[in-house]
Structure 1
Amino acid sequence: MNHTPSPHLSDGGKQAGGGLLCSLGLGSDRGVRSPDSLTHTPSPTGGTPSSSPPLLLSPGLGGLGLGSLGAMGEAAGADWESREELRLRELEEARARAAQMEKTMRWWSDCTANWREKWSKVRAERNRARDEVRQLRQRLDTLTKELTGIRRERQELASENETLRQETLRLRGDHAAPPLSAISPSSSPAHPRGASSSSSPSIPPSSPASSSSSSQVHGDVKLDRAAEGPPGSPEPEPVRDMDLDRQKTGQKDLELLDSVLRSRAPGADAQEAWDGRGGVNPAGSRRQERSRLLWEDAGTAEEDSSKLNALQLRLDESQKVLLKEREDKLALSKSIERLEAELSQWKLKYEELSKSKQEALKQLNLLKEMHQDELGRISEDLEDELGARTSMDKKLAELRAEMERLQVENAAEWGRRERLETEKLGLERDNKKLRAQVEDLEEQLAKQRRQAASALDSDLKAIQTELFERNKELADLRHIHAKLKKQFQEKTAELAHANRRVESHEAEVKKLRLRVEELKKELGQAEDELDESQNQTRKLQRSLDEQVEQTENLQVQLEHLQSRLRRQQQSPGLFGKMRSARFGPENPDGPSSDVDEEDEELQLQIP
């Protein structure tokens, strides 16, 4: 604090001379302050005092009146003592004001610290709100990604379900299975599922609601940043209105000065002296009259000429002091005007800061409300998403159960189909066997009717060789049949293994089914060939039996012929007759025709 003391306190001689001149009433209207002018002194609480304290006038000099000049010395001594006491009191008041100023400065620093703490709390809350908005946006992005993944899985499941439905329809249509109403439950969940997917609440990233809310949040954040100002700028500090403090302290000073003057100025003379110092018009006329009387007394008293010269010198000095005090008064008035202008500016700044604070609080409340609304909306969206996800999981479980049921039905259909095919093949084989037996019986009947009675040894050997070859072929066919049977068992094992792996490898199942069908066809062909070979073996067996019978017949005939030859040898005459009858001129080709007939019979008997 730069408290500059008054020139009255720094120069005691000048103060004493001024007091004497005031007591004489000379030049009292030159710059002497009135009590009204003292009310305009600035308050020291607004900062460092920019002016000297008010002019302190001695109240004890007013009681002199128009006494003799001998009492002036005693009055000057009393005035000096009173001024010393006032100087001490003013020093104590300056110390008290300095302490009060320190208190106000501490209060000001506490206020600024509180405001900084409040603004830091507001900034922390705003940063927390921004972090929460950022976290909510991240959660929204993750939820949208999960939703797109679930939609993709749902589409894949729907396509798989459609392919399964089409395949079951195709299989049932091909193999005369139950009607299409059996698979309508599997296809019906796909449609509600699609409907639910279309009606399920989705949160696309580019939805207008989310974009408008995000733009609104960004706008509020920008407003907060604009209100906060640049990061390097100092924080705005509130301004305290100190006009009231100044007025209070000024009023206290005036009351104290007035009480001191009244206590030291007895009677109406002190009031007249005070009014004379204040520059009131009646008091001025009285002072002029007093000065005139004094000058008349001084003119009559020649012995006091030297004193008058001294008083004139003192009067000049007092006039200089009054001029200086007038200049100080002008400077003080200018400083008062400047301080009032600064005070008005600080008031305007304080009002602007209060308005900005109210606006910032309003924006903060709006941000809080928007944040709460956004949280409520996001929580509702999350609940909707959870509901849609649970419903989707339920539908997926139903579709999986339906797919398993369809797979079980498909396996049962394939089992029934295979059983029917095996039964059909068995019935076809039985029909072929029965037809072959009928044909064999017919051939046996025909051959029994066409059997010949004779054959030659060469034909018998040929038949035996042919029988050996046929037996060899039969053994080869049996070996081939065993191989085919083994292959058939292997293929059936492979078919069973492929049927077990049907659920996990549908593509391989299709290939294996085609392969199984080809193998079944080959097996049917092999069985047909086996049946034909068996028929051929039976035919060969029958032909062998026939050949055996023919050999037996031929053996019998041979024995008959041998017996006949023996008999003919025993009776040559009879043999000659028979020979002549057979090889006579009437029948030259007789034996050859018989031989040809026998050959034809043998050829007919051998297939």
Structure 2
Amino acid sequence: MQPTRIAICPSTRPAACQQRDIVLTELTVMEDGDWALGCGHEELRLRELEEARTRALQLEKTMRWWSDCTASWREKWAKVRAERNRAREEASSLRERLEGATAELAEARRERRGMSADNARILREAGGPRAETERRGEEGEGDGKDVDDEDDEEGERQEEEENHGDDDDDDDDREGGDAEGEPADAAMTGVNRAGKEVERMSSPEQEPVRDTQPGKRSVALPSNKDTTLVEEPWEKRRDAGNYRRGAGPAGRLQEAAVASAVEEELARATVLRLRLDESLKTLLKEREDKSELTKTIEKLEAEVLQWSLKNEELNKSKQEALKQLALLREAHEAEMGRMTEDLEDQVSAHSSMDKKLSDMRAELERLQAENAAEWGKRERLDTEKLALERDNKKLRLQLDDLEEQLSKRRKQTASASDADLRSVQAQLYEKNKELCDLRHAYGKQRKAQADVAAELAHAQRRAEQSEAEVKKLRQRVDELKREAARAEDELDETQNQVRRLQRSLDEQVETSENLQVQLEHLQTRLRRQQTDSLFGKKRSGGRYEPSEGGAAGSEEDDGNSS
């Protein structure tokens, strides 16, 4: 019976170890399969992440392209805007030049009107003496006939003949008239000629005409009837001269007065002629300036028209560019909206993928930790298995040795005593007992190790709790520090307020002291004035006594001191 028990004990032990190895191999195979599945999912997620990154790069490139397009459009619009502003500035400068030219033209017109008014005034001044001489001649002739249109034509014809041949007319005047009547007629013709030239220059329609021949002047009579000067026929003048010549002493006196008046009129006519020449020169110069101004105005108007056309073209191009920009902006906004939606979808997908990836990483870390723990257990079991196998081998060797010794003893001594067999069986029993004790100690050791691991986990949890409490305490300390800083700031503010109040109080005390000093000075001055007034009254009354005054002054001083 006992040998069979010895045979069963070594045979049952390796079977349990083999079953444990099978279980461990199954666990490792399951863990490897889960790890392979996790790796496949991770590769898929990494591929999706790479695709999302490529799409994000494409979106960044398109956004960069759109930003470059918008920058180029901004540059173009800046150039167009600068050209438009330049055109506006040039148009404004041309408008200012046009306004200045119009103002100068208006000033020239006003000056021309003033000169025409001066010419009319000169004409009126020149027409007054001539009317007076005609009136005197008519009184000397005693003939008060009116001059009609035929006389005007005859006077013009005689004037032309006079212009063509002044010498012949002068000879005829010497033969038929007096020496004193001759300068009077010449003065009359000069005055008439000057009046006609002045009227011709004063009229805005007619232009002054230069002398084409020496001794001949073409004169155009103005159409205004109020300023028309009509010469008398030459024959009537000669008759008037003959009548004056035979008029006697009264006629001679009258002729002398007329001659003096004629000389004065001649002097005035020369002055008027000079003034007329100056006015003609100024008018010609003004006409030239006017022509130049009209040319410049036409040129400026052409330039303004050209710039207005350019401005219209720029406005049209601006409108077209604005339309294109609006279309591009709408397309850009639509594209940006689509891209933002895609990007948001990608970001949400990426965030969900990141979340899943983080969950998977946490799960993987947990599985890795469990796998590491299982591997640790497996290694420990392997070491235990190896130790048990060594013990089993040792026991088998010992058993083989014992069996050999037993067989030898059986062979040597067939009649071996039962005491030796029992001693061997007792040794074997002791060995088995030691093996059971070792197994029991191994179980206790594993239990103690599990207890130590539990205590370690509990200590870790307590350490985490203590760290959280330390963080809370640090936060509380920081809050207390901030509160202390705020309290210190409030204390500093209160101290500053107290100092300010103390300074204001000191200033008020100083002002009160100054006012007190001023009040004392005023009181002393008032006392002095009162004493001076009292002394003055006593001196004026003649009752001044030094002893009484001193006594009064001492009494007043005593009163003031009191």
Whether TM-score is above 0.5 comes out as no
| Larger RCO, structures 1/2 (Cα 8 Å, 6+ apart) | 1
- Please give the TM-score of this superposition, normalised by the length of structure 1: 0.37
- Please give the TM-score of this superposition, normalised by the length of structure 2: 0.39
